[in-house]
Chain A
Amino acid sequence: MTDTTDKFAVLMRQSLDGDKRAYAELLQETSRFLRPFLAKRLSFTNEVDDLLQEILLSIHKARHTYDGNRAYKPWVYAIAQFRLSDYLRSHYSDQLRLALEISEVENNLPENVTETTLSYESISGEIQKLPQKQAMILQLMHQEGYTAKEVAEKMGMNESAVKVAAHRAYKVLREKLEHS
């Protein structure tokens, strides 16, 4: 599978010889094909940028393990996948920690936060002024009839986090409506 005419392999060989321009071009090309790979797997642009920077640093650190005599992309994707898995692992363990904290808060909530006597349609104008995530949660729960669990699945959140977000939204709305 050695393709010595592979553009990336040639650039890498030049880079290993100390050619700064070839190295810059290689990293630019690499970030170009890695960006869609990461964008498909992550939700936010800032996450993609952060991880892409981390991957480029890893490529730099591990460049001595590539000799330019085998395909370049599998080598890069192995590093990218490794860093992505690391990132997702730490991201989800953070979420789990957060969810545990939220569930402690949830136990102290005075009422069932997923139920309200307000009608969605009557206050939809106020709902649209809420932060995007809260507005989306209320729309899904009260206009489209999803349960908190279903909303959580749909939005990639924890059920408790959805309930707490809904509770906060109700609180804001209640204050607004009381003052109007």
Chain B
Amino acid sequence: MSNIEDLIDKLAQDTTTVKPAPHPFALSAKWMLTAAVYLAVSLMISGPRFDIETKLHDFWFVAEMAALLGIFFATSLSAALLSFPDMHQKRRAVLAPAVAFVVFIGVMFLSWQADSPPAPLPRHSFECSMMISMLSLLPAVWTFFQMRKFASTHSLWAGSIAMLFAFSIGAIWLRLDEINDSIIHVIEWHYLPMIAAGLIGMWLGKRFLKW
């Protein structure tokens, strides 16, 4: 018992003024804003697809982008909440990515149904996954670095959601950059690799978000 009291005395003596962490909504907004700037710069450098104006009038393309943005918002919010030990006592909001993914899967299924006759498959394949991974690398490192400033008690999930957030940035960028309308290709080489990213994120979370 005296050990506990000694420890409490020591901690109390060591304490100084501490600035509380920002609210997770503010944190999430900051991360999204930073990601949006990164995305805009990347698009400026690579140049958007030349038919972007036409595509913005294509209902299924717009629906896909909106669903992708939904994942981007939801994962950012969830990652911010998961950075707090008690998830800021907003457990339901942490599950937002699940809803976003269900919507996204629905949209992709309907897009695939509407893709008739199917758009021709592009010649390339895994290059898209590589490009998304490369573009997502910096946001992933940055997000992990940000999350390490806090104290997640769900490091596996936090890592997974952080990776999905980073990969959603890469996925948005490639969809706005690449001239390709094949839904099959997009599902196979743009979005399915996100599952792998989420799984790798679990391992990364366990490794880097422990405290």
Contact = CB atoms under 8 A, between A and B. Distances in A.
Interface in A50-80: 52-53, 56-58, 60-68, 70-71, 74-75, 77-79
A170 interface: no
A64 B18 contact: yes
Contacts, number: 92
Interface in A25-56: 27-28, 31, 49, 52-53, 56
Interface residues of A, number: 36
Given A56-B11, A60-B11, 5 more contacts: A18-B15, A57-B11, A66-B20, A75-B89, A82-B153
Contacts of A81: 153
Interface stretch (B1-9, B97-105, B181-189): B1-9
A8 interface: no
Nearest to A50: B3
Interface stretch (B64-72, B80-88, B106-114, B172-180): B80-88
B140 to A, nearest CB: 22
B12 A27 contact: yes
A81 B86 CA distance: 10
Interface of A: 1, 15-18, 20-21, 23-24, 27-28, 31, 49, 52-53, 56-58, 60-68, 70-71, 74-75, 77-79, 81-82
B19 interface: yes
Contacts of B150: 62, 64-65
14 contacts: A31-B4, A49-B3, A58-B211, A62-B85, A62-B151, A65-B85, A65-B151, A66-B20, A67-B21, A70-B86, A70-B88, A75-B86, A81-B153, A82-B153
B42 to A, nearest CB: 32
A85 B8 CA distance: 23
Contacts of A27: 8, 11-12
| Residue among B11, B21, B23, B87 with most chain A CB within 10 A | B11
Interface in B118-168: 150-151, 153
Nearest to A19: B15
B18 A49 contact: no
Chain B interface size band reads 20 to 34
A17 to B, nearest CB: 6
A82 B18 contact: no
B89 A56 contact: no
Interface string B20-41: 1101000000000000000000
A63 to B, nearest CB: 6
B15 A79 contact: no
A31 B16 contact: no
A7 to B, nearest CB: 17
Contacts of A61: 151, 211
Given A28-B8, A49-B3, A53-B3, A15 B15 contact: yes
Nearest to B16: A18
Nearest to B85: A78
B54 interface: no
A56 B8 contact: yes
B166 to A, nearest CB: 22
Contact of A53 (B4, B9, B86, B87): B4
A66 to B, nearest CB: 7
Contacts of B18: 15-16, 18, 63-64
A23 B12 contact: yes
B17 interface: yes
B21 A64 contact: yes
